Amino acid sequence: MKPTTDLTNFQCIQCHACCKEKGYVRLTTQDTIAIAEFMNMDVWTFTDSFTRLTHDRTGLSLTEKPNGECIFLTEKGCSINPVKPAQCKDFPWKWRFSSFERTCGWAKGQRSSAE
The footprint of ligand SF4 (CB under 6 A) covers 12-19, 25, 70, 72-73, 78, 80, 84-85, 88, 92, 104-106
Residue 115 beta carbon to ligand SF4: minimum distance, rounded to whole angstroms:
18
Q: Which is nearer to ligand SF4, 11 or 40 (CB)?
A: 11
> Angle at the Cα of 31 (from 59 to 50), degrees rounded to 5?
65
Residue 77 beta carbon to ligand SF4: minimum distance, rounded to whole angstroms:
7
Residue 67 beta carbon to ligand SF4: minimum distance, rounded to whole angstroms:
13
Element containing residue 72 per DSSP (H, E): none
- Tell me how far apart the alpha carbons of residues 30 and 18 are, in angstroms, rounded to a whole number: 22
Residue 99 main-chain phi, psi, to 5 deg? -95, 20
